[in-house]
Amino acid sequence: MTLSEEATSRLTDIVTLQPTKNGELQDRWGLESGSEVHSYLESELKEYYYRDEDSLIRATPEAAELVGIELNDVVGVPPLQAEVIDTLAGPEEEPQSVVSVLHALEDRGVEADVDSARSALRGLADKGIVEIVRKTVPTFRLATQRSSIDVEVLDAPSEDT
C-alpha cells in the first residue's frame, strides 16, 4: 500500500508519539474531534496501527519500518512534555501536584495552562515516564532518573495541518 505524503507524515507522528491518544493526534493534526482521528486511522492507516490493552494508539513494527524509524528507547514527546520532564520532581523527591508543575513551568518561562499541564503529565504517565502518586489530589514525579531518559523533542504541529 502506497501512502500519501500526509498519511506518511501522520504515521511518523504515531510512531514517534506512541503510545498516544486520539486527543493528542487531534491537536497535532489540527482535526476537529477524536472521531475524525479515529475515522482517519481506520480509512488511511488501518494496517499500521493498533490499540493496546489501555486503548492507547501504537504503531506496528511495519509502520516504523515504512517511515524509517527504529523502535528503541528514545521517547518522542511534544515540547511541553519535554519541559515537564526537565521540571518535574525526580523519583526520590516529593511528588508535585498539577498546579505545582504549572507554577514551575511558568518560573521557567514556559507558557501553559492547568489543562495543558495536566494533559502533558497524563501523556507522560501513559508513556511510563511519570508515575502518579495518589494523595488527596493526584501528584506526579518522574518514574526514573532524568539522566536515563533519552528525549527527542518533536516539532510543534504546523498551523495549516
**Domain range list for the chain:** 5-67, 75-149
pLDDT at 98: 94
d(CA 143, CA 132): 9
pTM over 0.85: no
Helix (H, G, I), strand (E, B) or coil at 127: coil
Q: 75-149: same fold as 5-67?
A: yes
Helix (H, G, I), strand (E, B) or coil at 112: coil
Mean pLDDT of 95-100: 94
Domain 75-149 has CATH 1.10.10.10: yes
Cβ neighbors of 134 (< 8 A, separation 6 or more) are none
Domain 5-67 has CATH 1.10.10.10: yes
Helix (H, G, I), strand (E, B) or coil at 142: strand
The amino acid that residue 6 corresponds to is E
d(CA 31, CA 7): 14
Answer yes or no: are the C-beta atoms of 92 and 74 closer than 8 Å: no
Checking if the pLDDT of 147 tops 90, the result is no
Mean pLDDT of the chain: 89
127 band by pLDDT with thresholds 50, 70 and 90: confident
Answer yes or no: are the C-beta atoms of 147 and 16 closer than 8 Å: no
